[in-house]
Amino acid sequence: MNSKTAFRNTFKLLNSERPVFVPFVYGLTAKLAQMPLEEMTSDASYYTHSLEDAGELFSYDGIINNFDTTIEAGLCGCELEWPDDYASPRVTGGSQLEPDKVNPEESSRIQVLLETTKRIAMSKGKDVAVIGILTGPCTLVKTLTGDSNNEIESVIPQVGSLLTKLVKSVCETRVDAVFFREDLLDNSYRDALLAHRKPYTDVYGTLFNLIKYYNCPPALIMKNIELDFISELSGMIRPGGLILLGRKVSPDDMTHLHELSSSLKIAFGLPLRVENPDESESQFAVISQFVRSHKPTGFFYVSEGEIPYDMPLEPFHNLITRMQNDWNVTQEEKNGIYRQR
């Protein structure tokens, strides 16, 4: 079974192989290519080759097409500033455009992203998963409205309209999943969602149904979310997966997540802090021990946010080797049991 099949099976809760690893590699790809991120992402050929080269260097299971929440904000007219060569830009000024009036086809940045995603899906998509990442509705609304609560109710459906256009375009590049970033809201996501529950639920319903029409799972990237909110959230918007950044799981957490995965039919992305070998090894030990003992079919690994572009590469390589070796040992142990029988 190759990485692509294992990834897709994870979201069907059918992955009987090792948990796949989808690190959030973005600025690091530009550094490896020795090209500023702004320049890399403005040319589909450079962008494609950089993502391909990074994927081949580290041999992870899924390639993301970006990790930048300013793409949609810039499309809506927000002012952006690039802080240095390999970091994503930041929003420095508010939007002057209504999101539902924006035409993504007029944005060169969006068109380069879509063309790059299409090329990656064609060149690598037979063997590894290709994941499209978009800013989530709650995060994009917050970016566009700031602290102005009076505008939120009117902006939510406009954001939904824009994201629907983008989802359709991303899915047509033949990605294997669409992840929505809500991690910037951290633990305020719950309050932001529940404060405008009905309009947000409508937006998520439209987006997720469209993604599922293209035979893709939708997932949310979240941070510091309470586990006791997962059942309620699943009942509201029914994501195919939740990526739990900021969460150091314990054996009890793993048991609880396994039960939630089975009952809610949902996959979970569990983070490893790749740049901190001691911390990532500790978390990997907890997760891998549970995987060996209980054989969950809906768990996968992610990095704890974007892989820092300035980190040493050795810990990244070592972690991926550790994952493969651990699975090989597990298979040898299983084969030994079969031989004894």
Closest CA to 163 of 112, 108, 222, 100: 100
Beta bridge partners of 129: 62
The CB-based long-range contact list for 324-331 (8 Å cut-off, 24+ gap) reads 324/18, 326/18, 326/284, 326/288, 327/17, 327/18, 330/18, 330/291, 330/292
Which residues does 215 contact at the CB level (< 8 Å), separation at least 6? none
Once rounded to an integer, what is the mean pLDDT over residues 26-45? 98
According to the model, what pLDDT value does residue 147 have?
A: 75
- Would the pTM of this model clear 0.85, i.e. be above it? yes
Element spanning 135, H or E: strand 129-135
Residue 338: which pLDDT band, with cuts at 50, 70 and 90?
very low
According to the model, what pLDDT value does residue 333 have?
A: 62
DSSP 307: P
Q: What are the DSSP calls for 40-97, one per residue?
A: HTT-HHHHHHHHHHHHHHH--SEEES---THHHHHHTT-EEE--SSSSPPEEEE---S
Sequence length of the chain is 341
According to the model, what pLDDT value does residue 331 have?
A: 67
Question: Considering the chain, what percentage of its residues have pLDDT values greater than 90?
Answer: 90
Q: What is the pLDDT of residues 101-134, one digit of tens each?
A: 999 999 999 999 999 999 999 999 999 999 999 9
Mean pLDDT of the chain: 95
Q: What is the bridge-based pairing of β-strands 218-223 and 241-245? A: parallel
Once rounded to an integer, what is the mean pLDDT over residues 252-278? 98
Closest CA to 328 of 2, 57, 17, 1: 17
Q: What is the pLDDT of residues 36-83, one digit of tens each?
A: 999 999 999 999 999 999 999 999 999 999 999 999 999 999 999 999
Closest CA to 183 of 24, 308, 64: 24
The CATH fold of domain 3-340 = TIM Barrel (3.20.20)
